[in-house]
Amino acid sequence: MRRTARTLADGREIIYFDTDPAALPREAEDTRGLPEQAPASEMRRDPLTGEWVALAAHRQSRTYKPPADLCPLCPSGPQRPSEIPESDYDVVVFENRFPSFAQGVEVDSGTVPGMPMVPSAPARGRCEVVCFTPEHNTSFGELSRARVRTVVDAWADRTEALGRTPGVEQVFCFENRGEEIGVTLHHPHGQIYGYPFVTPRTERMLEVAEAYRAEHGRHVFGDVIAAERSSGERVLVDSEHWTAFVPAAARWPVEVQLAPRRQVPGIPALTEAERDDFAATYLEVLRRLDGLYGRPLPYIAAWHQAPVRTDHDLSWLHLQVFSPMRSADKLKYLAGSESGMAVWINDVTPERIAATLRES
């Protein structure tokens, strides 16, 4: 793989990841007249839960469902410059033009006026966009294994780079797919967030892992994988290095976890063989997901990695893929119990969805 870093017209970084190291050099210039970025993201801590909330009002003006011929994630063409100056690419990563977290945020730290118990601070971090392919009308599940492997290497590269970014405490790689999820750009792409704090979900998983290790002397995720493989009832794919399964306490109507059988804290720690094997395993999972209802399945694919500076020994890298579709044409809404109390109620058993996915 070859890595080439360039700069867009407004100073944002763009990085090309080429599967073939001998590919043509990436030298195209961004000819657009873009204003300099001035992100003004703020974050405030909820005094009742201790959780940080990001406020990014400038995102209201971000690009919303443009026609295919105006897609900002397609390669640039004659008289049609896009976010990617090149006329072609393999995998490309660039700083988000409308970031929730960014460097150089000019917001004062302190407290919310009249609310001394609500700290506020600049939402300093980094948000990036990952384009998986130059092809507009395709999906991650239709990529070649070689291209998926390049994406994995890009994720690893950016996880390490964002981990060195001032103020970043956790790196989150993810993909949103489908309008039902809230996607506003249909080109196959994902995102990477460098959070200025450790997320609530990660904090909770680390607390549970620490308590389980204190009681049993082992990592809870390792025991989960071993038990799932022994049972086999919820396992979809069991490859040389990865196990993909529907979790026994699945929250979503469709939910799959992919985990390496070896404990690693994050994507950069995966071996060459584990990265290759992931590409094959994940493509098989996505094929089954798209076959579930006979239509492209809307989903969120979320990588769970260790925080940047802490608890690497308590973390176990895994990818969670889930969908709110409880049938081909019905959504699961996060209503009273889920949204109000964070108590999930699933309308389908994990065993049933696993059996259906194995048949798809």
The pLDDT > 90 percentage for the chain reads: 91
pLDDT class of 340 with cuts at 50, 70, 90: very high
What's the confidence (pLDDT) of residue 67? Answer: 86
Domain final residue, candidates 182, 197, 212: 197
Per the structure, how many domains does the chain have?
Answer: 2
**Which CATH number goes with the domain that contains 116?**
3.30.428.10
Domain final residue, candidates 166, 197, 228: 197
The pLDDT > 70 percentage for the chain reads: 98
Same domain, 269 and 120: no
Q: Which residue has the tokens 């929250």?
A: 251
Same domain, 21 and 62: yes
pLDDT class of 60 with cuts at 50, 70, 90: low
- Two tokens at 335? 């209503």
Mean pLDDT (the chain, rounded): 95
* Residue type for position 77: G
Same domain, 118 and 215: no
Alpha-carbon gap, residue 353 to 358, rounded angstroms: 9
Same domain, 10 and 153: yes
Query: For residue 324, is pLDDT > 70?
Result: yes
Query: For residue 57, is pLDDT > 90?
Result: no
- Residue 131 counted as an annotated binding residue: no
What's the confidence (pLDDT) of residue 36? Answer: 82
Same domain, 43 and 96: yes
Domain final residue, candidates 197, 221, 251: 197
Alpha-carbon gap, residue 239 to 153, rounded angstroms: 20
What's the confidence (pLDDT) of residue 235? Answer: 98
Same domain, 162 and 289: no
Same domain, 208 and 181: no
Same domain, 181 and 282: no
**Which residue range(s) make up the domain with 173?**
2-197
pLDDT tens digits along 105-133: 888 899 999 999 999 999 999 999 999 99
Same domain, 180 and 219: no
Same domain, 177 and 249: no
What are the residue numbers of the active site?
A: 189
pLDDT class of 61 with cuts at 50, 70, 90: low
Same domain, 283 and 271: yes
- Residue 71 counted as an annotated binding residue: yes
- Residue 127 counted as an annotated binding residue: no
The residues facing 57 across adjacent strands are none
Q: Indicate if the alpha-carbon torsion angle 201, 204, 206, 208 is positive or negative.
A: negative
The residues facing 128 across adjacent strands are 95, 192
Who has greater pLDDT, 104 or 49? 49
Same domain, 137 and 212: no
Alpha-carbon gap, residue 356 to 293, rounded angstroms: 10
pLDDT class of 104 with cuts at 50, 70, 90: confident
3-state secondary structure 171-235: EEEEEEECHHHCCCCCCCEEEEEEECCCCHHHHHHHHHHHHHHHHHCCCHHHHHHHHHHHHCCCE
